[in-house]
Amino acid sequence: MELTTKSSFNKSMFWRRIRNYRILYLLLLPELIYFVIFKYIPMFGILIAFKNYNIGLGFWDSPWVGFRNFSNFIHGVYFWDIMSNTISISLYKLFFGFWAPIILALLLNEVTVGWFKRSVQTITYLPHFISWVIVYGLLVALLAPGNGFINLLMKEYGNNPISFLTESSWIRPIIVSSDIWKEVGFGAILYLAALAGVEPSLYEAARMDGAGKWRQLWHITLPGIRNVIIILLIIRLSTVLDAGFDQIFILSNSFNAEKSDIIDTWVYRQGLEQMQFGLATAVGLFKSVIAFILVISANQIAKKFDGQIF
C-alpha cells in the first residue's frame, strides 16, 4: 500500500512539473523531434554493416554476411597505415590544438583595452567560418613551389624551393597548424565565457595576500575553468578516430597520401566511390564503438581526478 501511494505521488509530481514548465517543454519539443527523426531512426541503418548491401535488392533482402565487413576492414592491406595516420594526426591535433584556445583565452582575459581585445577576438575567430576549400587556396598562395610566398622568400635568400603540399614529411605539420589557425579563436570563446564566471573577489583576496599573476593563474583561474577543460577534453577524446575529413580530403593527394590517408578518406574511396556500403557502414560503426569506449573511459578518469587537479 505504501509503495502504491509513493508511486502515485511521484506520478502526480511528474505531471505537475510538466504543467508548470509546459512552455519550456514545448520549446524543447522541436529539438526532440529532430533527434528522433534524424538521429535515432537512422540508427537502424547500422544493420547494413552486417549485410552485403545491394541497392537492387534493397535493405531487407540484401544477404546477411555477419562480421565479414569488419573482418575485411581489419585484415585489409591498408588497415594499419590508415589507423596509424588517423590516430597520429588526431593526437597531434589534441596535443597542440587543445591547449591553443586555452592559452589564447587566458591572454585575452588579461587584456584591459576593450577595443584591442574585441579586435583580436574578431580576427582570431573569423577563420572558423572559412571553408577548407578557401583555406587550401590560401595555403597554395603561401606554399606553392613555384610562386608561393614562402618559396619566393626562400629563393630570395638563395634556398631551394620546397613543395610543401606534395611532400609527405610536411603534410602533417601543415594539417595540424592550419587546423589550429582555423579553430583557435572560436574555441577560445567557450573559455572566455568560463573565465567571466570566475569570482573577481578571489583575485582581490589573492592580491591582498601578495599573490602574483602566475599564482593567481595557477590557483584561481585554472581551477575556475577546470570543469570546462575536462568536458571539452572528453569531447575531443571521443573524436580521436575523426581526424577531420573535410580538411584532409582537400589537402591530401597521391604524393602525401602515405602520411595523410585516414579512415574517413579511405571509406570515401573504398566504401562510397566503389559502392561498398556495407563496408562503409561497418567502419562507421567501428569508429562509433571506439568513440563510446573512449568517452566512458575519459569520463571515469575525470571523475577519479576531480578535485585533485591543480
Cα separation, 97 vs 251, in Å, equals: 18
The reported pTM is 0.79
- Mean of pLDDT over the chain: 83
pLDDT at position 305, please? Answer: 60
Confidence check: pLDDT of 260 > 50: yes
pLDDT at position 180, please? Answer: 92
- Phi first, then psi: give them for residue 117, nearest 5 degrees: -60, -45
Q: pLDDT confidence of 5, banded at 50, 70, 90?
A: low
Cα separation, 45 vs 59, in Å, equals: 9
pLDDT at position 61, please? Answer: 81
CB 167 within 8 A of CB 260: no
Cell 554493416 maps to which residue? 49
CB 203 within 8 A of CB 220: yes
Region 16-25 average pLDDT: 83
Q: pLDDT confidence of 41, banded at 50, 70, 90?
A: confident
* pLDDT tens, residue by residue, 228-249: 888 888 778 777 888 888 899 8
Q: pLDDT confidence of 310, banded at 50, 70, 90?
A: very low
Cα separation, 232 vs 102, in Å, equals: 11
Which residues 6+ apart lie within 8 Å of 234 measured at CB? 295, 298, 299, 302
pLDDT at position 4, please? Answer: 55
79-92 and 168-196 helices, crossing angle to 10°: 40
Q: Record the cell numbers describing residue 212, joined without a space.
A: 602574483
In 3D space, the residue among 146, 141, 301 whose CA is nearest the CA of residue 231 turns out to be 301
* pLDDT tens, residue by residue, 200-224: 888 788 788 777 778 888 888 888 8
SS3 46: helix
Cα separation, 277 vs 285, in Å, equals: 12
CB 133 within 8 A of CB 250: yes
Cell 593526437 maps to which residue? 91
Cα separation, 260 vs 254, in Å, equals: 10
Cα separation, 275 vs 258, in Å, equals: 24
DSSP 246-291: HHHHHH--TTTHHHH--HHHHHIIIIIITT-HHHHHHHHHHHHHHH
Q: In a 10 Å sphere around its CB, with 0-12 CB exposed, 13-18 middle and 19+ buried, how is residue 165 labelled?
A: buried
Domains annotated on the chain, with CATH? 77-305 (1.10.3720.10)
Region 155-180 average pLDDT: 86
Confidence check: pLDDT of 12 > 80: no
* pLDDT tens, residue by residue, 86-119: 889 988 988 888 889 999 988 888 888 888 888 8
CA angle 100, 121, 127 (to 5 degrees): 70
- Phi first, then psi: give them for residue 64, nearest 5 degrees: -75, 140
pLDDT top residue among 171 and 78: 171
